[in-house]
Amino acid sequence: MAEARPRVWVSQPLFADIVGRLREHFDVDDTAQVTQHGSAAIAAALAGSDGALVTLNDPIGAAEVAGAGRLRAIANVGVGYNNLDVPALSRAGIVVTNTPDVLTETTADFGFALMMAAARRITEGERWLREGQWRQWSFETLLGGDLHGSTLAILGMGRIGQGIARRAAGFDMRVLYHNRSRLPEGIERDCRAQYVDFDSLLVQADHLVLVLPYSPQVHHLVNAAALAKMKPTATLTNVARGGLVDEDALADALSAGRLAAAGLDVFEGEPAVNPRLLALRNVVLTPHIASASLATRRAMVSLAVDNLIAALGFGPDAGRPPT
């Protein structure tokens, strides 16, 4: 009797032509029509699976894999791992992969655009115009802050942070960064970026951009105390994870004029957005789309598919260390 093929669960509709490549090696359950499942539904899907292709919508830890005796690999379509309890999954012998690199430049583009939109009040101006409030051209309408000649402060200087720093050179910005560890001199030179401690970063920032990975250790790193150190003319942009920012403290600072503007692509309770932020005009809000160019989203799914095939011991890369 032919040996049963490994089973793979795909947790949400992804690009069908790319996901279809999994069928060469596996029995694929890609029938999920929703993008978010409860813990019990995830556990049930994983129970009969050897591998899974999941996204940041799927929180998976010890509870979800407790009954998944066959599960050997989870390929996350995303660079962040924060939906996965990696230590618990490793203890259960499950390999976890992600999709770094392929989204770096697209996310850096978006981070830069969001910072610019917040600083120059682009979406606020558009809303104001559409509301019919533009009655006459005036010198003092919607005055924003400049990017050129200002200080860009990058918190988290991984690949995406470095991409944003490189873009800043074209805008004549001074670049400061803070990171868990200081970068090698060569990279600092390439990025024209100077390492400073966290407090100096906050104090000197004209535009602070968050691009660090989320972990419980950095939960609400940008809280009321941190925001109080920033200039009232500064902006904050977050393309990392919502949990890095205390959103109520941010809303307080923005509404009291203690911070000029914010650009947020990620939220603590997404897809729910803090109503206080929704009510403010000086925040640009986008629905977690920093990596959402067609080419990049396809590249992410493609890499995750390759990762899963390799992690389950098939294809030309079988057995290669997971990304």
| 56 lines the binding site for ligand DGY (CB under 6 A) | yes
- Tell the smallest beta-carbon distance from residue 78 to ligand DGY (Å): 3
**Considering only 21-29, 74-82, 138-146, 164-172, which stretch makes contact with ligand DGY by CB under 6 A?**
74-82
User: Which of the ranges 39-47, 75-83, 118-126, 127-135 carries the binding residues for ligand DGY, by CB under 6 A?
Assistant: 75-83
Q: What are the CA-CA distances from residue 141 to residues 118, 120, 124, 144 (Å)?
A: 15, 11, 11, 9
DSSP string for 259-301: S-EEEES--TTTTS--HHHHT-SSEEE--S-TT--HHHHHHHH
Q: Which is nearer to ligand DGY, 150 or 323 (CB)?
A: 323
Q: How far apart are CA 241 and CA 292, in angstroms?
A: 15
At 155, phi and psi to the nearest 5? -105, 110
**Residue 202 and residue 231: Cα distance in Å, rounded?**
8
Dist. CA 56–CA 266, nearest whole Å: 12
Measured from the CB atom, the residue of 36 and 282 that comes closer to ligand DGY is 36
Q: How far is the CB of 291 from ligand DGY (least distance, A)?
A: 4
Shortest reach from residue 162's CB to ligand DGY, in Å: 16
Residues 6 or more apart whose Cβ sits within 8 Å of residue 89: 60, 61, 65, 74, 96
Q: Helices marked H in the chain — which ranges?
A: 16-19, 39-47, 62-65, 86-91, 104-119, 122-130, 159-169, 185-191, 198-204, 224-228, 247-255, 275-278, 294-311
Instruction: Decide whether 48 or 80 has the Cβ nearer to ligand DGY.
Output: 80
Number of residues binding to ligand DGY, judged by CB under 6 A: 6
Q: Which active-site residues does the annotation give?
A: 241, 270, 288
C-beta of 102: minimal distance to ligand DGY in Å? 9
Residues 91 to 110: which contact ligand DGY by CB under 6 A?
103
From the CB of 232, what's the least distance to ligand DGY, in Å? 30
Considering beta carbons, is residue 144 or 158 the nearer one to ligand DGY?
158
Of residues 107-166, those binding ligand DGY (CB under 6 A): none
Residue closer to ligand DGY (CB basis): 37 or 297: 297
**Distance between CA 173 and CA 168 in Å, rounded?**
5
**Options 6, 51, 78, 163; binder of ligand DGY; rule CB under 6 A:** 78
CB of 26 to ligand DGY, least distance (A): 23
Q: Which of 61, 80, 315, 322 binds ligand DGY (CB under 6 A)?
A: 80
Tokens of 246: 């205390």
Over the range 87-105, which residues count as b (16 or more CB within 10 Å of their CB) and which as e?
A: ebbeebebbbbbbbebbbb
Residues 274-293 interacting with ligand DGY (rule: CB under 6 A): 291
**Which residues contact ligand DGY by CB under 6 A?**
56, 78-80, 103, 291
